[in-house]
Amino acid sequence: MSVLIKENIITLNTKNTTYQMAVNPNNYLAHLYYGALLDDSLAIERGNVGYHTLLPLPYDCRNREFSSAVCPLEYSAYGCGDFRTTPLKVRFSDGSSVCDLIFESANYVDSKPKLEGLPALHDNEGKSQSVEICLKDKVHDLRVYLLYTAFEEYDIIARSVRIENHTGGDLILESVLSTCLDNYEDEYDLITFDGKPYAERTFHRTPLGDVKLTCESKRGSSSHQCNPFFIFATKNCDEKVGECYGSAFVYSGNYTASMEKTPIGTTRFVMGINPENFNFLLKDGESFQAPEVIHSYSNNGFSKLTHNYHDVIRKHLFRGKYADAERPILINNWEATYFKFTAEKLLDIAKKAKAIGVDTFVLDDGWFLGRNSDNSSLGDWFVDEEKLGCPLNQLIKEINALGMKFGLWFEPECISENSNLYRAHPNWVLQAPDRKGALGRKQWVIDMSNPDAVDGIFGMMSDILDNNNIEYIKWDFNRYLTDVYSHALPADSQGEVHHRYVLGVYDLLERILKKYPNVLIEGCASGGGRFDCGMLYYSPQYWTSDNTDPMERLSIQYGTSFCYPIIAMGSHVTESPNHVTKRDTPFKTRSNVAMAGTYGFELDLTKLSSEEIEFLANETNVYKKYSQLIRTGDYYRLTSNSARYMGWQFVSNDKLNSLAVIVQRTSNIDFKPIIQKFEGLNPSVMYRVVIDGKERENLYSGNALMNIGLNIRSLKYENESTRIEILSAKAQ
């Protein structure tokens, strides 16, 4: 049993972890424990020790046994002496915001219920177990349902919150965060994956001090600037040792996450929808479902935490045809042509792509009515046959005749001022009355909280998808939300627009996937500006960054890898010097880095020499050979982001095959050899080692490769890279 309700203690067990709470003598739901697996007797022991009261600073003199200011709690509301960040704040119809949540009930739930309208981990096999706990305000009939699901095999606890209003009046939800993780220790570092366009998800480690650390997005999407995935870790935590806790938000809009110490040395971590500009009217009898957070714990360092997330996302977040299937190798025309192309030019590129083993041709921005720059036409999803020189159908047929699939770019959530759609539906745009609104990238954002607008976009996209053999969509989004006002909602509901926008996007994605289940959607937001578990539920791969310089991608892909599976990261071989950085890098390094993702190309292949085409054809073959290992194997970061060279490694589940890459970041002026130790192998298996296609004479035991390592002699200069295949000698 992974969920156990016994006396006043509720326990969730996974393979290696225990999550535990207790109803304390005052009827509050206290957090007891989250950490390494406990046996049942220890669990009860912990409850008996009285952890769930924590006396030192009783806030209410009528109750000296309990302090709401410091007691670790599972969830709490504003107004009754919990001065930490409280996840819930409501305004009742009498204007009061005081809410005191006490335990009402706890019930087993088989498997995992769906969250209405929201992405979440799914459990089609019915292997997981859940518990639903009801807390209730002491005065009003406001119910808070906390849902916890244990994914035993993956050491994952998913949790979410639903609020039900039975108060007899309407109320306003001013804050409904999804998780509150209190802890009895406070010597932690908070690890964030913040960044900017061209430098998304950069690893930052900040010691928890005496002031609260907050990360958030107010941009309407999860954003380039901060990613909704966090780790707090003990000071000694590295890839292999130490304790760490991960929290991934399954949501793509505004969010907040913060971590703070209390004066007595406990901590609180919270995460959820950003309360700023969030005011949700909940009528009597209605409920509000807040998004899910995926928690995990490891006492074997970051590496184990990463494996937990990679595995659960691949098996229980991805859905549909591509959840567990080979991903196509793409050629995308964007960096090859930008807006300037004809069908003839595209076909020339496609033919070369076919010659190097590419499976899918993707036509990026610029294929629809009058779209020759980013000045116009977004929202007019009709083919510009004049520009192409033929109907889209004809181009697709010719590409299909080459034996390749065809993919198409859309930016469904945006609209140009110069578009027929805007002229016909000016009210479908997020714009406050009497204001035109910011024109980021010369475009506005469609009001996706308006179901009519969502219907309209769905109709136009369906028309294209019904009449053309399209098997892949690149779903782009090149804006942050400003001027957030919906003409479809009354004045007192404007605080709902941000959240309803996200629900509208999810609805559109769901409808497209339902109608076109064979289409693979790759998400994109000016690069990786909305790379989160919410989007991965619909699009199991995401364009990682518009920065395609492999040396810059090292740290972007490094940061992204902590939570998100390698197969979720769109990664392409592009031109050199790179369009963004002007840095020159060898083809080999561009290819090696792109292989740590969904391999593809984004350059004008017609300009390459026959030797270069031959080189890339060989690389594509290597990728095909290892694509299953890259997609399903365990991923290890071999170095930190600050190392002079960077390395990573994939190991097959049976530990018999492995692929590693090492990239030299700065010239090795001392010519000091790199002695690289590997991870995850079977110590007693003998392996062959092939470095850049050349097999070493000796066989090496897994033990030697992991403890002594290999002398990588080939790397001396910056931007060079090497590929190491480690293959069981028996499997030969």
Considering the complex, state which of residue 46 and residue 224 has its C-beta at the smaller distance from ligand DGJ: 224
Phi, psi for residue 351 in degrees, rounded to 5? -65, -45
Q: Note the helical H segments in 516-656.
A: 533-536, 550-561, 587-594, 610-632
How far apart are alpha carbons 245 and 309 in whole angstroms? 11
Q: In what order do the strands lie in the sheet with 29-36?
A: 3-6, 9-13, 17-23, 29-36
Nearest to 199 by CA among 218, 224, 228, 229: 224
Report, in Å, the least distance between residue 491 CB and ligand DGJ. 35
Considering the complex, state which of residue 155 and residue 335 has its C-beta at the smaller distance from ligand DGJ: 335
Considering the complex, state which of residue 123 and residue 335 has its C-beta at the smaller distance from ligand DGJ: 335
Report, in Å, the least distance between residue 590 CB and ligand DGJ. 16
Nearest to 200 by CA among 647, 574, 531: 531
HEC readout, 391-415: CHHHHHHHHHHCCCEEEEEECCCEE
Nearest to 702 by CA among 724, 719, 685: 685
Considering the complex, state which of residue 216 and residue 364 has its C-beta at the smaller distance from ligand DGJ: 364
Considering the complex, state which of residue 336 and residue 685 has its C-beta at the smaller distance from ligand DGJ: 336
Q: Does 379 bind ligand DGJ (CB under 6 A)?
A: no
Structure tokens, 370: 């009058």
Contacts of 477 (CB under 8 A, 6+ apart): 221, 411, 413, 414, 523, 524, 525, 526, 529, 530
Single out the segment in contact with ligand DGJ by CB under 6 A; choices: 249-257, 269-277, 523-531, 722-730: 523-531
User: What letters, b where the CB count within 10 A reaches 16 and e where it falls short, cover 258-269?
Assistant: bbbbbeeebbbb
Q: Does 365 bind ligand DGJ (CB under 6 A)?
A: yes
For residue 324, indicate whether it is catalytic. no
Single out the segment in contact with ligand DGJ by CB under 6 A; choices: 71-79, 258-266, 520-528, 670-678: 520-528
Single out the segment in contact with ligand DGJ by CB under 6 A; choices: 42-50, 94-102, 503-511, 521-529: 521-529
Report, in Å, the least distance between residue 349 CB and ligand DGJ. 16
In this structure, the strands spanning 3-6 and 213-217 are: unpaired
Binding test (CB under 6 A) with ligand DGJ, winner from 228, 253, 527, 534: 527
Structure tokens, 30: 């206290």
Nearest to 524 by CA among 543, 547, 548: 543
Nearest to 8 by CA among 101, 113, 121, 133: 133
How far apart are alpha carbons 483 and 477 in whole angstroms? 16
Q: Which residue out of 612, 614, 654, 695 is catalytically annotated?
A: 612
In the bound state, the residue with its beta carbon closest to ligand DGJ is 365
Binding test (CB under 6 A) with ligand DGJ, winner from 194, 311, 364, 417: 364
Interface of this chain with ligand DGJ, residues 161 to 180, rule: CB under 6 A: none
Report, in Å, the least distance between residue 377 CB and ligand DGJ. 11
Length of the chain, in residues:
732
Report, in Å, the least distance between residue 568 CB and ligand DGJ. 16
| Residue 244: how many other CB atoms lie within 10 Å | 25
Contact letters for ligand DGJ, residues 408-427 (x by CB under 6 A): -x------------------
In this structure, the strands spanning 645-651 and 657-664 are: antiparallel
Report, in Å, the least distance between residue 12 CB and ligand DGJ. 40
Contact letters for ligand DGJ, residues 479-518 (x by CB under 6 A): ----------------------------------------
Single out the segment in contact with ligand DGJ by CB under 6 A; choices: 108-116, 454-462, 524-532, 672-680: 524-532
> Max alpha carbon distance in the chain (Å)?
84
For residue 612, indicate whether it is catalytic. yes
Considering the complex, state which of residue 78 and residue 542 has its C-beta at the smaller distance from ligand DGJ: 542
- β-partners of residue 631 are none
Binding test (CB under 6 A) with ligand DGJ, winner from 292, 398, 417, 476: 476
Report, in Å, the least distance between residue 526 CB and ligand DGJ. 5
Binding test (CB under 6 A) with ligand DGJ, winner from 266, 478, 547, 557: 478
Q: Does 361 bind ligand DGJ (CB under 6 A)?
A: no
Report, in Å, the least distance between residue 529 CB and ligand DGJ. 8
Single out the segment in contact with ligand DGJ by CB under 6 A; choices: 341-349, 493-501, 522-530, 642-650: 522-530
Interface of this chain with ligand DGJ, residues 300 to 339, rule: CB under 6 A: 334
Q: Which residue out of 398, 532, 602, 619 is catalytically annotated?
A: 532
Phi, psi for residue 169 in degrees, rounded to 5? -140, 170
User: What letters, b where the CB count within 10 A reaches 16 and e where it falls short, cover 348-358?
Assistant: ebbbbbbbbeb
Report, in Å, the least distance between residue 107 CB and ligand DGJ. 46
Considering the complex, state which of residue 342 and residue 682 has its C-beta at the smaller distance from ligand DGJ: 342
Q: Are residues 602 and 335 in contact, defined by beta-carbon separation less than 8 angstroms?
A: yes
Report, in Å, the least distance between residue 708 CB and ligand DGJ. 43
How far apart are alpha carbons 312 and 649 in whole angstroms? 20
Nearest to 30 by CA among 62, 78, 1, 68: 68
Report, in Å, the least distance between residue 478 CB and ligand DGJ. 5
Give the total of residues touching ligand DGJ (CB under 6 A). 11
Binding test (CB under 6 A) with ligand DGJ, winner from 146, 305, 524, 536: 524
In this structure, the strands spanning 700-701 and 686-691 are: antiparallel
Considering the complex, state which of residue 409 and residue 564 has its C-beta at the smaller distance from ligand DGJ: 409
Contact letters for ligand DGJ, residues 535-554 (x by CB under 6 A): --------x--x--------
Contacts of 288 (CB under 8 A, 6+ apart): 162, 163, 173, 176, 280, 282
Give catalytic residue positions: 532, 612
Contact residues for ligand DGJ, defined by CB under 6 A: 334, 364-365, 409, 476, 478, 524, 526-527, 543, 546
